[in-house]
Amino acid sequence: MSIISFRQRVYTIAQQIPKGKVATYGQLAKMAGSPRAARAVGMSMKCNPDASIIPCHRVVASNGRLVGYAFGGIQTKKQKLLNEGVAFIKDTVDLNVSQWRVTI
Footprint on this chain of DNA (rule: CB under 7 A): 5-7, 24-27, 34, 36-48, 56-57, 59, 61-63, 67-71
Nearer to DNA, 73 or 85 (CB): 73
In angstroms, what is the minimal distance from the CB of 16 to DNA? 16
The answer to whether 33 touches 74, Cβ cutoff 8 Å, is no
Residue closer to DNA by CB (options 69, 100) is 69
Q: Is 56 a catalytic residue?
A: yes
Contacts of 81 (CB under 8 A, 6+ apart): 22, 57, 58, 66, 88, 93
Partner residues linked to 22 by β-bridges: 99
